[in-house]
């Protein structure tokens, strides 16, 4: 297992066909790569107790949510995870929320988006493969 400092936490929400990010003000936090066979990560956010109802409702409904986190330092690119809140604990005047889930591979998403675009443009078979390679080389140049 590897443990890292959690720097920021955003909940990605979809409301009325709009996608928004809700910034959660952290008191502290950590993220653990469990390095298990399922590629699961544990995210622990130590936050103000004013978030209790928000996270309790999510946990009770067993909602799977998308979060974006920054790890180790603010200048790092955000990592995206698909998680479920698995526990909420009161600690003094604050609380912690524990999420478990998997990291979303953004590179894979980009590849799938390019392939879909090419298929929508009518490319098939060998032509699809050649155009995919060509555009991949263009994006590296």
Quick: pLDDT tens for 47-86.
999 999 999 999 999 989 989 999 999 999 889 899 999 9
Q: Verify that 48 and 80 share a domain, yes or no.
A: yes
Q: Verify that 95 and 112 share a domain, yes or no.
A: no
Instruction: Give the pLDDT score at 19.
Output: 76
Q: Verify that 117 and 132 share a domain, yes or no.
A: yes
Beta-strand pair 79-91/18-24: unpaired
Q: How many domains are there within the chain?
A: 2
- Residue 119 belongs to domain spanning: 107-139
Residue 132, classed as helix, strand or coil, is helix
Q: What is the pLDDT along the chain (141 residues), one digit of tens a residue?
A: 899 999 999 998 877 667 788 999 999 999 999 988 888 999 999 999 999 999 999 999 998 998 999 999 999 988 989 999 999 999 998 999 999 999 887 666 666 677 778 888 888 877 887 887 777 766 555
Q: Verify that 56 and 90 share a domain, yes or no.
A: yes
Q: Verify that 91 and 45 share a domain, yes or no.
A: yes
Instruction: Count the helices and strands in the chain (H runs, E runs).
Output: 3, 7
Q: Verify that 111 and 99 share a domain, yes or no.
A: no
106-120 helix and 125-140 helix, angle to the nearest 10 degrees: 130
What's the pTM?
0.73
């Amino acid at each position: 297992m590897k443990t890292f400092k959690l720097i920021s936490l955003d909940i990605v929400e979809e409301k009325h066909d709009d996608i928004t990010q809700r910034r959660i003000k952290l008191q502290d936090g950590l993220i653990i790569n469990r390095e298990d066979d399922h590629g699961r990560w544990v995210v622990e956010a130590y936050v103000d107790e004013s978030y209790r109802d928000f996270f309790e409702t999510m946990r009770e409904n067993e909602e799977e949510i998308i979060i974006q986190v920054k790890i180790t330092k603010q200048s790092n690119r955000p990592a995206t995870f698909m998680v479920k809140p698995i526990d909420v604990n009161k600690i003094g005047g604050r609380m912690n929320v524990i999420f478990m889930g998997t990291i979303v591979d953004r590179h894979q998403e980009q590849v799938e988006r390019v392939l879909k675009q090419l298929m929508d443009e009518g490319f098939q078979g060998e032509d699809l493969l050649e155009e995919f390679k060509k555009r991949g080389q263009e994006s590296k140049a």
